[in-house]
Amino acid sequence: MTDIEREAIRRTKLFLFDLDGTLYLGNRLFDFTEELLDTIKASGKRYMFMTNNSSKGIGSYIEKMASLGIGTDKDDYITSSQATSHYISEKYPDKHFYVCGTRSFYDELASSGVSVCDDILKSDAIVMGFDTELTFKKLDDVCSLLCKKDVPYIASHPDMVCPTEYGSVPDCGSVCDMVYNATGKRPDAVIGKPGILMPKLAMEKCGVLPSECAVVGDRLYTDVLCGINAKAYAVLVLSGETTPKILEGSNIKPDAVFKSAGEIIDALK
Ligand SMILES: [Mg+2]
């Protein structure tokens, strides 16, 4: 780590961490994660976990982290579901949203005051999440409304695939592409990383400026680009998806590249 990088880390008041590939890999917690989170807390700084995955509620993340030995509570998270709820509530308070997403996504939207709807005939807007409970009926519903009318159409995040133990499965962006092939319509807004709404909400909540915030993650086109877009300190870690070769070939340039988020510990000591 260079002196400039060390200074930037020491100046940081809020760390926004990606999860998979950054703090754990699948079901394996990285060796440094517990010490890293403890060190940040002990330095009087704050961290939050920032995830694009809108298929699971915050409760499942708390459980997952607990199963890895890390205690967290709901204030430690900012998810694309929360940001999507916020966006819809601000921009479309009077619309009835048909939800193409999981039950927990539906419940999250409903509990934050979005008017959600199961019945496509009573809906006048569409919201798309990472739907691990997707059925052809839902695709048919979404296409039927988009073909008939110009209605607000929001997607929780742009990821094309979600990593699994065996490779990957289609994510929200891939389903949006299927819908585009059928209807010619793309979402009017895509909320999660690399968009700036999640870091913006997190910074507001913690009362910090972009210059006091670091976004740390293993994907260039979501995590790092999000940090750059939010004018935060954008840190790429090489413990997940991105290899040095991918980094070399990309035009997305992180402010810092660390082998892992564990390097932050030394900078704070
Ligand atoms: Mg990741």
Ordered DSSP codes for 169-228? EE-HHHHHHHHHHHHS---SEE-STTSSHHHHHHHHHHT--GGGEEEEES-IIIIIHHHH
Instruction: State the CATH number of the domain containing residue 240.
Output: 3.40.50.1000
Task: Print the domain residue range for 161.
Answer: 86-190
User: Do residue 90 and residue 186 come from a single domain?
Assistant: yes
Name beta bridge partners: 216.
17, 235
Identity of residue 172: C
**Does 149 reside within a domain?**
yes
User: Do residue 183 and residue 151 come from a single domain?
Assistant: yes
Distance in Å, CA 163 to ligand 1 centroid:
9
User: Do residue 158 and residue 199 come from a single domain?
Assistant: no
Where a domain ends, among 143, 158, 190?
190
Check whether 165 has a pLDDT greater than 80.
no
Distance in Å, CA 120 to ligand 1 centroid:
34
CA–CA gap between residue 207 and residue 9 (Å, rounded): 18
Number of domains in the chain: 2
Check whether 167 has a pLDDT greater than 90.
no
User: Do residue 94 and residue 172 come from a single domain?
Assistant: yes
Check whether 61 has a pLDDT greater than 80.
yes
DSSP class of residue 43 equals: T
Where a domain ends, among 190, 221, 240?
190
Write out 225-241 in H/E/C secondary structure.
HHHHHCCCEEEEECCCC
Distance in Å, CA 184 to ligand 1 centroid:
30
CA–CA gap between residue 157 and residue 139 (Å, rounded): 17
Q: Show Cβ contacts of residue 212 under 8 Å, excluding neighbours closer than 6 positions.
A: 11, 12, 13, 14
The pLDDT > 70 percentage for the chain reads: 100
Distance in Å, CA 217 to ligand 1 centroid:
6
Distance in Å, CA 153 to ligand 1 centroid:
26
Distance in Å, CA 240 to ligand 1 centroid:
7
Check whether 164 has a pLDDT greater than 90.
no
User: Do residue 169 and residue 242 come from a single domain?
Assistant: no
Q: What is the pLDDT of residue 227?
A: 98
Distance in Å, CA 144 to ligand 1 centroid:
34
Identity of residue 34: E
Distance in Å, CA 157 to ligand 1 centroid:
14
Where a domain ends, among 132, 160, 190?
190
